[in-house]
Structure 1
Amino acid sequence: MPATPAWPPRSAPRLFVPDTLSQEAPVSIAEAQAHYLLRVMRVGVGDTVILCDDQTGEWAAQVTDTGKKALVLTPQHRLREREAVPDFWLCAALLKKDRFDLLLEKGTELGAARIVPVLARRCVADRLNPDRARAHIVEAAEQCARTALPDLTPVTKLDSLLRDWPANRRLFFADEAGGEPARASFAGEPGPAALLTGPEGGWDDAERALIRAHPQARPITLGPRILRGETAAIAATALWMGVAGDWS
Structure 2
Amino acid sequence: MIRLHVTPDLAPNAAVAPTLDQSRYLTQVMRLKLGDALLVFNGRDGEWRCVIAEILKKGVILRVEDQVRPQAFGPDLDLIVAVVKKSRVETIVEKAAELGAKRVRLTVTQRTNVEHVRLDRLDAIAIEAAEQTGRLDVPTIDDPQRLATLLDDWDPARRLMFCDETGGAPVASAVTQPGPWAILIGPEGGFAPEERERLRGLPFTTAVSLGPRILRADTAAIAAMTLWQAAVGDWER
TM-score band, normalised by the shorter chain? Answer: over 0.9
Amino acid at match of 2:148: D
Query: How far is the alpha carbon of 1:85 from its aligned partner?
Result: 1.5
Between the aligned partners of 2:192 and 2:90, the Cα distance in structure 1 is 24
Q: CA RMSD in A?
A: 1.2
Structure 2: give runs of 5+ residues left out of the alignment. none
1:116 and 2:140 are equivalent in the alignment: no
Deviation at 1:192, TM superposition (A): 1.5
Q: How does 1:82-161 map to 2 (within 5 A)?
A: 82-161=71-150
What SS does the corresponding residue of 1:71 show, helix, strand or coil?
Answer: strand
* 1:59 equivalent among 33, 48, 63: 48
Runs ≥4 residues deviating over 3 A: none
**Aligned residue number for residue 7 of structure 1:** none
User: Cα distance, 1:127 vs. partner?
Assistant: 2.0
Report how many aligned residue pairs link the two structures. Answer: 236
TM-score, length basis structure 1: 0.92
Alignment of 1:6-85 (within 5 A): 12-85=1-74
8 Å CA contact 1:171–1:216 kept in 2: the answer is: yes
Residue matched to 1:162: 151
One-letter amino acid matched to 1:37: L
Q: 1:18 & 1:191 partners in 2: Cα distance?
A: 28
1:88-125 per-position Cα deviation (integer Å, ceiling 9, x unaligned) = 11111111100110100000011011111111122231
Whole-Å separation in 1 of the counterparts to 2:122 and 2:95? 13
SS of the residue corresponding to residue 64 of structure 1 reads: strand
Q: 2-side partners of 1:146 and 1:80: how far apart?
A: 11
Instruction: Measure, in 1, the Cα distance between the counterparts of 2:136 and 2:14.
Output: 19
* 8 Å Cα contact 1:167/1:216 also seen in 2: yes
Instruction: Check conservation: 2:171, 2:231, Cα contact below 8 A.
Output: no
Q: 2:206 aligns with which of 211, 215, 218?
A: 218
Percent identical = 39
Instruction: Note if contact 2:16-2:62 (Cα within 8 Å) is conserved in structure 1.
Output: yes
SS of match in other structure, 2:143: coil
- 8 A Cα contact 1:178 1:221, kept in partner: yes
Structure 1 stretches lacking a partner, 5+ long: 1-11
How many angstroms apart in 1 are the aligned matches of 2:166 and 2:116? 27
User: What is the deviation of 1:151?
Assistant: 2.2
Q: Distance in 2 between matches of 1:124 and 1:67?
A: 47
